[in-house]
Amino acid sequence: MDRVLALVEQRDDMTQEEVVAAWTDLQVDPSQRRPSVETFMHAVCLSEGGAQWVAHTHAISCNAILCSALGAEPFLRHVFPDAIVVCGRHVAVVPYVDPGFYLGKVVQAEIRRFQDAYGMSPKLLLMENHGITALGQSAQEALNIQLMADKWAHALGHLCIGWPKILARDRSTANRLAA
């Protein structure tokens, strides 16, 4: 964990080749399978995000909205109180970037923005054109956040959300930190 976080602190970006080359050093047991490219995102949620359990999915119900031209916008106001109780009054949002090292940087920046704005860590992170991540204090809480986000998305799914937002063929702009 410390070595993963040190890379997130020290580097602005890492190519997929550099990440793969670094795994040998990062893996606790090199005989095990290589970790996910989303390791950096998980590490940031577990450290700066204050989570004990992180659950990341590509739930169809949520992606139907997060992949629309509206993105995360429909989730920025609440439509029923259960979602506030389980997912928090505010949700964290990141735009699309390719899964990998840079996603960890973008999630880190969003967690910091969220903490500055609301004085707490997010419970639900919405990742446009990608999926959702629950930051829980227990496995049960992480699961509850996932299930509530699914319920929330189903409630919103009756909106007319229009055409999907298509991923750009050239995503080099999306994969760089904003100046």
Question: What residues line the site for Zn ion (CB under 5 A)?
Answer: 131
Minimum distance between the CB of residue 36 and Zn ion, rounded to whole angstroms? 8
Q: Which is nearer to Zn ion, 60 or 85 (CB)?
A: 60
C-alpha dist (Å) from residue 32 to 24, 27, 51, 89:
11, 8, 25, 39
Minimum distance between the CB of residue 120 and Zn ion, rounded to whole angstroms? 24
Q: Which is nearer to Zn ion, 57 or 78 (CB)?
A: 57
Q: Which is nearer to Zn ion, 78 or 150 (CB)?
A: 150
Residues 6+ apart with CB under 8 A from 34: 20, 23, 27
User: Helix (H, G, I), strand (E, B), or coil: what is residue 164?
Assistant: strand
The b-or-e profile of 39-59 (16+ CB within 10 A means b, else e) is bbbbbbbbbbbebebbbbeeb
Q: Which is nearer to Zn ion, 37 or 155 (CB)?
A: 37
- How many CA atoms within 13 Å lie on the side-chain side of 144? 14
Minimum distance between the CB of residue 132 and Zn ion, rounded to whole angstroms? 9
Minimum distance between the CB of residue 106 and Zn ion, rounded to whole angstroms? 13
Q: Which residue is nearest to Zn ion (CB)?
A: 131
Minimum distance between the CB of residue 77 and Zn ion, rounded to whole angstroms? 25
Q: Which is nearer to Zn ion, 97 or 161 (CB)?
A: 97
At CA 172, angle to CA 100 and CA 113, rounded to 5?
A: 60
Q: In this structure, are strands 131-136 and 124-127 parallel, antiparallel, or unpaired?
A: antiparallel
